[in-house]
Amino acid sequence: MTERLYYHDAAVCSFDGAIVAHGVDVQHAILDRSAFYPTSGGQPHDTGTLNGVPVIDVIDEDDRVVHVLDAPLPLGPVHGEVDPVRRRDHMQQHTAQHLLSAIAASRFGWETISVHFGAGHSSIEFDAAAGDAELHDLEVTANGAVSAARPVTVSFEESAGALARGLRKAPTRSGAIRIVTIEGLDRSACGGTHVSSTSAIGAIMVHGVERVRGHSRVGFLAGDRVLRHLHEREELLARTAEASSCAIDELPEIAAKRQTELRVQRERIETLEREVATARLHALVAATAPDSDGLRRVVYRSERDSPTLLRTMAQDVTTLDRVVFVATLSSPPTVFFATSPGTGIDAGALLKAALGTVGGRGGGSPKAAQGTVTRPELLSGVVDRLVG
C-alpha cells in the first residue's frame, strides 16, 4: 500500500520514501509513500524523478501507486522530486474545474457529466445546451470566486449521508471518501490535486464550446495557461498584422478590404480570360489550313494557362464551322477536345476512346469534352488519336 502524500498536501513536491516492491519489471517501482499523482479522474499523472531517474508514467493500481521509470531502480530508500510546474498547472486546472462545475450547477442547474484535462486545453461536459450569455456569466462568476480567495480544504468523511451534508454529486464509492471543499461554494468527492485558495487559480477563461445532442463540452484555460494563451494570440496577431503591413487594430478592416479586392480581381481575370480565349482561338483557326476533308484541325499545347481558359477556348469552337480543336495542359495533364457543327465527330465518344488506350479518364458531350491522363508524356499519344 502506498501512502499518498498529495492527499493531504498537494504542495509537497519533494519527499523521501522507499521502493518496497517492483511491478511487472524493475522499471515499475512501488513506494511505501509518494507525492506522485497517478493518472485518474481525468487528471494526467505527475512527472519528475526518483533518485534522479525520470518518472515517465504513474499508474493507480488499487491501493498502490506504480511509478514507471526510465531506468531500473533497486529496492530501498529513494528521494522523489515531482515536477512543480506541471503539478501547479494541474492544480490550477483541476480547482478551476471544481469552481466552474459548482457555479454551473448552482446558477443554471447544469450537471457535470465528465471532465477532461489536456496538455493544452481542458473541458467539462455538461448535460445542457450552454448558451453564450450563460457561459459569459459562468466565466465572470468564476473569476469573482477566484479573486474572493476562498479557502480550498480537504477532509475525509464517511460516504453514507455525504449527499445530505451538501455534496454536489452522490459519491460512487462507500466507506471513507476524500472531500474537497471550496468554502461557501462547493463540496465534491475527489482524489485530485488542488490549490489551497481559489486566488492561486489566477484567472479562468472559457475557451471554445462544442454542442452535441443537447450536451455541451465547454473548454477552459486556467492559471498560467491564460497568460500563455494571450501571449500566443498576441504574437499570432502581430505576425498577421506584419504580413498585412498594418496595425493589429486595422486587421478586420484590412481583411475585409482584401476580400473585396480579391473578388474584383477574380472577376476581372475571368473577363480577360474569356476575351483572350476567343482571340487566341480565332488566331489559331485563321493560321490553320483546312485538311483535304475541309476540316481545320487545331492543336494547342499549353504549359501555363488556366484550365478555365482552355475550357473556354473549347466551348467557343462550337460557334465556328468545321473546326476540330484539341488543347493540352501539361500540369495537371489534361486534354480539352471540341468539334464544331458539320464535322460529324462526336467529341465525347472519341475522347473517351482515346483516353481509354492510355488509362486516362474523362468524357463530355458530342460537342465538347475533357479528360486527364496520369503523366504528361501520355498527352501526345491522345492528341494523335484525336487529330492524327
Residues contributing to the site for Zn ion (CB under 5 A): 94, 190, 192
- 152 vs 320 by CB, closer to Zn ion: 152
Residue nearest to Zn ion (CB): 190
Q: Which of 348, 372, 378 is nearest to 360 (CA)?
A: 372
Nearer Cβ to Zn ion (153/330): 153
Nearest-CA neighbor of 197 among 145, 137, 141?
Answer: 145
Instruction: Classify burial at 52, counting beta carbons within 10 Å of its beta carbon; exposed 0-12, middle 13-18, buried 19 or more.
Output: exposed
Kind plus residue range of the DSSP H or E element containing 359: none
Q: Residue 170 in contact with residue 163, Cβ under 8 Å?
A: yes
Residues facing 126 on adjacent strands: 112, 216
The CB-of-222 to Zn ion minimum distance in angstroms stands at 13
The gap between the terminal CA atoms of the chain, to the nearest Å, is 87
Of 188 and 334, the one with the shorter C-beta distance to Zn ion is 188
Supply the minimum distance, in Å, between the C-beta of residue 192 and Zn ion.
4
Judged by CB, which is closer to Zn ion: 94, or 225? 94
Least Å distance, CB 308 to Zn ion, is 60
Least Å from the CB of residue 147 to Zn ion = 21
How far apart are CB 126 and Zn ion at their closest, in Å? 17
* Closer residue to Zn ion in complex, CB, 94/150: 94
Distances (CA, A) of 358 to 302, 317, 328, 363, 371: 20, 26, 15, 14, 12
Pairing verdict, β 323-329 and 296-302: parallel
Strands (E) in 330-374, as ranges, are 334-339, 361-364, 368-372
Nearer to Zn ion, 192 or 223 (CB): 192
* Least distance (Å) between residue 94 CB and Zn ion: 5
Q: How far is the CB of 149 from Zn ion (least distance, A)?
A: 19
Q: Which is nearer to Zn ion, 91 or 326 (CB)?
A: 91
Determine if the peptide bond prior to 332 is cis (ω within 30°).
yes
